[in-house]
Structure 1
Amino acid sequence: MKLQTQRWIDRWVGQLLCSAVSLWARLLGTRAPKVDRQRAPRHILVILLSEMGSIVLAGPMFKALREQYPGVTLHVLQLKKNQEVARMLRLTEDAHFHGIDDSSPISLVRDIWRVSLAMRRLPLDAVIDCELFSRVSSLLCYMSGAPRRAGFTPHTQEGLYRGSYINCAIPYNPYQHISKQFLSLVDALESNGGPRHKAAPIRELPAETGLSVPFTPEELAAYREKLLRDHPVLVDRKIVLMYPGGGILPERAWPAAHYARVAQGLCAQGHAVGFIGLKEDMALAQDIKQQVGSEQCIALTGYTRSLRELLMLFHASDLLLTNDGGPGHFASLTPIRTLMFFGPETGKLYGPLPGPFGPKATVYESGIACSPCLSAYNHRLTFCDGDNQCLKRIAPDPVLADALQALREEPATA
């Protein structure tokens, strides 16, 4: 289903349904949590419908839930297309993953009904809605049947109504990194109810994601051998990966000409450049490759068949240049150095966390007055009409200098 269609349904149909459910909850008296505070939650549902990169940023939240509630059974509700990441990261047992198909309005409604019935059959004690102001996640939160319902409230923000039945609510804070806000949702489960939870402890930005994907040395060595066999031009060169695509939000992409300029400089110094992405990014990769005009520049779009293979590619490479999005967050789970570009959104809220190999990311932002422009309050709709000056003004030559310096500092991948 197209993103604009999802937004339209969420805005108009979602608000109507949230109003109806709020009235229903008021009549039944189910808005306030009726729970035994002496009994810790044993079954918790986490709703994470957003992009795959946010799953990595939610890692500290899952760690905090397990630490605060030892022995807890975690259930995870996601869009089916995003489940590969969560399963790879072992956020919970396979039997406790639940998916929704959003490929069409019919499949979306069908799966919402199916999942809601399945959730009510579970012995859920609590649910955490990690979405900011999505109405569908708010409705799923109530329909789960869990007595404790934690989520974000817009407080007095106009036009962001999502019902009044989130009974362990906290104010969304646009000045705090999203990982800290996910942790605040854990704190909200111990709230005494009411529309806003104010007694949360001080939370520091997590020192790491708390996530890892184990590989054996033999597995990594075999993959690197395959990579070099398939692309001999990479042999005896440091490998720089670039992700020039914008995904579902094209305005997040650093200009293709800037990527080409950096790639030209890297190839001139004897390094190899590979463009990554989905198969639909092939045309963009080929266009940039043509601009570069070097045999040391290759297209790897569609080369990896799974996210696990993408992580092995990161292990086999030396540097990643990427737009804001999933690859930059997945890279934090590997040793690769990362240069990441933000503009319509900001690294202050969505920057990658350090992973098991330590802090390896550098964030670039131009800092012009209109940046960042995408937020939970405008449903991530920008006013720049594709002219993303915030990213165009991040000049390629300083990035090239940083990339060359990073390659000098990093030992060659074994």
Structure 2
Amino acid sequence: MNAFEVTGSRKLKGEIHPQGAKNEALQVISAVLLTEEEVVIKNIPDILDVSRLITLLEALGVKIKQLNKHTYSFKSEDVNTDFLYSEDFRKKGGALRGSIMIAGPMLARFKKAVIAKPGGDKIGRRGMDTHVDGFEKLGAHFTYNTHTFCLEFTTKALKGNYIMLDEPSVTGTANVLMAAVLAKGNTTIYNAACEPYVQQLCKMLNRMGAKISGIASNMLEVEGVEGLHGTEHTLLPDMIEIGSFIGMAALTQSDITIKNVSLENLGVIPDKFKRLGIEMEFRNDDIYIPEQKCYEIQPPLNGNILTIYDHPWPGFTPDLLSIVLVTAIQARGSVLIHQKMFESRLFFTDTLIDMGAKIILCDPHRATVIGLEREHHLKGIRMSSPDIRAGVALLIAAMSAEGKSIIQNIEQIQRGYENIEQRLNALGAEIKLIND
């Protein structure tokens, strides 16, 4: 099995370009199933989850051409719906959670869909009720196949409806939205997620001929249309990778510039890292982080401990709480990290404690980090990556630690970060891909 060997205490310097947004990619690539015409998508990241989705679509019969390293052409004119009921589909679909995103487009255009038991991060309960309830309200019927462990959906015709989502799920919103664009009549999706990923999907669908209003709000209005046509679409830079680079620069005392970040789509992300005392300059569409000997956590005005928690957009994304937590390890002051959404995402703190961090895991959802103020260094150890975001947080910790660290199960990191070791080594890191 491949692993990373990380030699720590290396300060980085230079420029780095963020990859295309992983979460957006999984949605808009699935949307190509809504039309038989060509769809060209640019800035696609070369990561495992995306390549697995592309392989799944190819197996369904989508004609795919790679125009350059990050640009693909998709044409879904001859989709084999029988493939949905094959063992090969269950294997390919079960390899990534993002496979759930093809269900909405398949229902809308082909009147049938199957959801295989999805893979992905083991970070707690991640139900599919939002997706299922939305499809049912649009007129789909589903059964659970006890032999294949798949959800199977069918419909004679989807019909628009008023849908109150039980939670503002990004994937749930996107899936129901893609089903609604070809439904007969009007659909209202209330309590919708409004992350930039969903906004980008809405804009792409509208260019394809959909009629969606309320973009960037929590209520989307959809007027169903007969069909969609082709388009071109460019993915945003990945906000999670941008946040990861900000935290990495601070913890490793590096001097880096993150290029072309699409500042207007980062929301409160820069502000949350500033609350940790991290200095940054906005230079046009770049973020410059200078080397800092020490950064001090900014408590609230009432003097209480700073609490950083996740919240639906425009609140702080849960995908960056692991990065905030590891960044706070060498800060001056203390911070309470409150991970509301996933009950297993903070369990990687045991590894950080073994490295020398001062962290109190209060319960599965909350951890208090007591900053070391660089008076003590983390030490390199052998560890394993439990999920994408915790994996990168551990990589950042290893880069700042004294000595060498071995990180196993790096496939979790590679699912979401493109050639991360090569890109960081170009800045001065020392990360080797080894067989362990």
TM-score by length of 1: 0.24
Higher helix share: 1
Q: Which has the higher contact order (CA 8 A, sep 6+)?
A: 2
TM-score by length of 2: 0.23
Higher strand share: 2
